[in-house]
Amino acid sequence: MDDQRLVETLRSLPVPDAEGAQMRARDLVLAAHAGRRPAGRRRRRGVLALASAVIGGAVALSATQGPGVERWVREALRTSVADPHAQPAGLAGLPGGGRLLVSTGLDAWVAGQGLTRPIAHTRGGGVSWSAFGNYIACGCGQRLEAVALSGRVVWTERFAARVGPPTWSPDGNRIAFTVGRELYVTAGDGTGARGLRPAPASGLFGLAAWRPGPGHVLAVRDAPRRVSLIDTDTGRVLARIPLESDPVSLGWSSDGRRLLVTTRRTLRVYNADSRLVSRRQTSPGASITVAGISPSGHQIAYVVRGTNGRLETVLSAVERPRDNRVLLVGSALGGLLFSPDGRWLLVAWNELDSWMFFTTTTPTRARQITRVAAHFGSAEAVATAWCCVARPPAAGGG
């Protein structure tokens, strides 16, 4: 075969499902183009929106906090609004980079790195990033599915009862989920699903967390007022952590050396041997609604509801209990997420339909993304996971 024939043959080979792929991509590309705004306008609007939001935050903070908070607000205002290098507010480039997985109740969306689009119709089911953020696992009715970012369903496994929110292990080789009231673990390709033990929790969202590192160890609420560390490959229980009440969330540092266990009243950080490193307790009458541990394991963030009903987002150093920073005060603060590199903290500020991004270093700086509901066509949009700053090179291979 000479060069000319090779060229002609390569250019005429029938590509499988070429027309279908083209139509799907065409719709996405046109939608992405329609959703963009000329850069100049976007930047001005972003800065103005940020200014208004931070001023709003300043009012909220200064009304309830002391002079230290007021000083911080002034610093944040000065830094954020006057910053000539501030990124335009928008979902294309998140502060901290990476991509967010967003649930609207009916659909799962991906946002960031130039993409904002729905990728799976979840109908209220839970979703989880794969290890490198190239797939999501979805508990969709009685099916567990892996879906590529294009929306292509890579595999599907059916079960006899409703599949609860899945959680994908950091090495990509296991997925934990519930079927009915039983805890299941399957391989990352959807094969070999097996029941592990009864799961008293109705779902595992926030209540099961894979330990990063070797093996497949799951921290899971497996009984009322108890968290267990289970080697899912052998079924062996490595540790049991008794609690005074049920946990509201579990989270590991990225090196697997620290585990944050949060209940309504306490924040406990354990080391790899399940020994208590740090314990915080809310003041009487206050309760913690959500919490997270930074990838480094040295910071925790939480939202606490005070006796006056106001919510505060607090960033705190694990080793220095007195090192607390109140980032935001409001009446409707939602979830929070650390960026994959730990340098940013996302706080959902629902009363302003905004996501606030705070740096976790000092001095604190803030960024804002407004009109969250409009971005996702839903007032129920919740950022559930933040993945992968250093995205591996493959676009579709894991």
Binding site for another protein (CB under 8 A): 1, 3-7, 9-19, 21-22, 24-26, 28-30, 32-34, 36, 38-39, 92, 114-115, 130-132, 134-135, 146, 148-150, 152, 154-155, 172, 187-191, 392-398
Residue nearer to another protein on the CB measure, 75 or 171: 171
H/E run at residue 301: strand 299-305
Taking the complex as a whole, how short is the minimal distance between the CB of residue 388 and another protein, in angstroms?
Answer: 11
By beta-carbon proximity to another protein, the closer residue of 321 and 398 is 398
- Which is nearer to another protein, 13 or 160 (by Cβ)? 13
Nearest-angstrom CA–CA distance, 299 and 347: 15
In angstroms, give the least distance from the CB of 373 to another protein.
22
Cβ proximity to another protein: between 29 and 332 the closer is 29
- Spatial contact of 370 and 89, defined as CB atoms under 8 Å apart: yes
CB 199 within 8 A of CB 242: no
Of the pair 22, 362, the CB lying nearest another protein is at 22
CA pair distance 294, 63, nearest whole angstrom: 29
- Residue 276 near residue 270, CB atoms below 8 Å: yes
Cα–Cα dist 341/96, whole Å: 7
Q: Closest by alpha carbon to 187, among 219, 248, 144?
A: 144
Closest approach, Cβ 157 to another protein, in A, equals 12
- The alpha carbon torsion through 83, 86, 90, 93 (nearest 10 deg) reads -160
In this complex, which beta carbon is closest to another protein, that of residue 88 or of residue 247? 88
Q: Closest approach of Cβ 265 to another protein, in Å? A: 38
Distance of closest approach, residue 170 Cβ to another protein, in angstroms: 11
With H, G, I as helix, E, B as strand and everything else as coil, classify residue 389: coil
Identity of the residue, 31 or 63, whose beta carbon is nearer to another protein in the bound complex: 31
- Amino acid at site 147: V
Question: Residue 224 region, left (φ>0) first, then alpha (ψ -120 to 50), else beta?
Answer: beta
147 in helix, strand or coil?
Answer: strand
Least distance in angstroms from the C-beta of 190 to another protein? 8
User: What burial letters (b/e) apply to 51-74, b meaning 16+ CB within 10 Å?
Assistant: eebbebbbebbbeeeeeebeebbe
Report d(CA 88, CA 296) in Å as an integer. Answer: 28
Taking the complex as a whole, the smallest distance from the CB of residue 338 to another protein amounts, in Å, to 22
Smallest gap from residue 186 Cβ to another protein (A)? 11
DSSP 304-337: EE-TTS-EEEEEEESS-TT-EEEEEEES-EEEEE
Tell the smallest beta-carbon distance from residue 143 to another protein (Å): 16
- Cβ proximity to another protein, 114 vs 235, nearer residue: 114
Closer residue to another protein, CB minimum distance, 31 or 276: 31
